[in-house]
Amino acid sequence: MKITIIHPCIGRIPGKDYIRSWQMEPLPPAYLAALVPDDWKIAFHDDRMESIPYDEQTDIVAISIETYTAKRCYQIATEYRKRGVPVVMGGFHATLAPQEVTQYADAIVIGEAEETFPKLLADFKAGRMQIKYVAPKNKKLGFLRPKRSIYIGKNYLDLGLIEASRGCKFQCEFCAITSYFEATHRHRPIDVLLAEIEEMKPHKKLFFFVDDNIVSSPDFAKAFYKELAPLKIRWISQASITLTYDDELMGLMKDSGCQGILIGFESLNEKNLASMNKRFNAARGGFEAALKKLKEFQLRLYATFVFGYDHDTIDSFQETIDFCIKHKIFMTAFNHLTPFPGTPLYTQLEQEGRLLYDQWWLDDRYRYGQVPFKSTIPPEIIQEKCVDARKEFYALGSTFYRMFDKTNSGNLQMLKAFWFINLLLRKEARQRENYPLGDESFQGEILKAAHLDSRVLIK
């Protein structure tokens, strides 16, 4: 038997290269590959950087689907469906919108794949594949390691991706992670993580722990950092602002090689923070105290902000830009609020009749960066102001000013990294805007799965 694993792109503009910063090693395909029995052949194609050979012989196709890649996934599935090849899908979107995904996949995995995907493959081989496979919830994370050999020959960013834990204990209303993992947090065994890092260490200078909140379980984090320190690696990750409440945690993080951390600041407006169920961002001195702690421990900050909550005004954008420049933050993201299906935010906006599309991720009118709901500020103004905020923050004057912070450029290596990242994001300030969801060169109908009676064109 042969399985083809596809990693989909968000979309594609004919004749234009895909956005480079979106081309990191994808972990989901490597985990799927690790679950395939040894007597199967595996082909892997990354839709972001190569053409998919649809006519290449294969028995079954597997795709991990996210909301932003949904349309492209259905286009890919259509091409295989025309050739009589079944397509199975799993991942966040399949779990949060199973009724939709079931229409365009021959089988779906709801939840995590470790137990269900091998069963799906066994059933397929025996000729009894079911339409839905539902994973048990909150199982302990075991000893599975991604099969990174599938990356050979791909031109990915020189960054090693590792998953130390899954989920987050907070319940932010806009967060698909919280909805998917139901506000739980689980971690992999430390010895397994260390062995994986040791194996990758000769090939990677910087590691990215893709955890949604790597400090969600502080006791695990501290134990892990103590064991990680002797490996002398450099790493980055994502965390909640609560890490700044614990000096021991921050010290261990720094000693273990942490170079910087992404924290969702989200908004400077406390009413907005309350609306998104993120009041803790304003606790214990709020952002000012957090920034002071991060500088004290020499941890660079990637602060992310979202705009579009009801308490935002036109002035909110400039206030946020000024705040970030004043505090010489290493890098920032200024994005609009996105209602993902399956989240409390999406349900609320749907009930209030504020969604501008039935399914924005499938609507041909929608493009990346557009605001798909009604807010107190017109959607097109929110989009425009987010772009303007990125351009102003990453302007040369701002970058030069922020360079004079020892956390950002304490040595030559840090200085080079600071300028490389800031210039790259300056280039992409507008590059991502209005990017299509799905391949614009795709022609014809997007077909429903074989287990359904009819064909449908996504409109």
User: Three-state DSSP class for 64?
Assistant: strand
The number of beta carbons lying within 10 Å of the beta carbon of residue 397 is 9
> By the 8 A CB rule, do 104 and 448 touch?
yes
pLDDT at 454 over 50: no
Q: Identify which of 5, 150, 157 has the alpha carbon closest to the alpha carbon of residue 73.
A: 5
Numbered ranges of CATH 3.40.50.280 in the chain = 2-140
What's residue 412's pLDDT? Answer: 84
Numbered ranges of CATH 3.80.30.20 in the chain = 154-427
- Four-point Cα dihedral 110, 173, 308, 22, nearest 10: -40
β-pair type (331-336, 438-439):
unpaired
Mean pLDDT of 282-296: 93
What's residue 243's pLDDT? Answer: 95
Mean pLDDT of 139-167: 89
Render the burial of 45-55: b for 16+ CB within 10 Å, e for the rest.
bbbbbeebebe
User: Three-state DSSP class for 395?
Assistant: coil
* Strands (E) located in 198-248: 207-209, 235-239
Distance CA 336, CA 385 (A): 9
Six-digit token pair at 71? Answer: 């349309």
Q: How confident is the model at residue 415 (pLDDT cuts 50, 70, 90)?
A: confident
Mean pLDDT taken over the chain: 92
Q: How confident is the model at residue 453 (pLDDT cuts 50, 70, 90)?
A: very low
Percentage with pLDDT > 70 across the chain? 98
Distance CA 457, CA 344 (A): 29
The number of beta carbons lying within 10 Å of the beta carbon of residue 159 is 14
pLDDT at 182 over 80: no
Mean pLDDT of 359-377: 96
Mean pLDDT of 279-305: 94
What's residue 303's pLDDT? Answer: 96
Using CA atoms, how far residue 301 sits from 187, 253, 330, 441, in Å, is: 24, 14, 6, 39
User: Three-state DSSP class for 331?
Assistant: strand
Amino acid (1-letter code) at residue 148:
R
CATH of 2-140, one of 3.40.50.1970, 3.40.640.10, 3.40.50.720, 3.40.50.280: 3.40.50.280
Please state which of the ranges 82-86, 361-365, 397-401, 428-432 shows the lowest mean pLDDT: 428-432
Percentage with pLDDT > 90 across the chain? 78
What's residue 440's pLDDT? Answer: 94
Tell me the pLDDT tens digit for each residue of 11-61.
999 988 888 888 899 999 999 999 999 999 999 999 999 999 999 999 999
> By the 8 A CB rule, do 182 and 168 touch?
no
User: In CATH, what number does 154-427 get?
Assistant: 3.80.30.20
Q: How confident is the model at residue 452 (pLDDT cuts 50, 70, 90)?
A: low
Six-digit token pair at 150? Answer: 């599938």
Tell me the pLDDT tens digit for each residue of 217-260.
999 999 999 999 999 999 999 999 999 999 999 999 999 999 99
Distance CA 344, CA 411 (A): 44
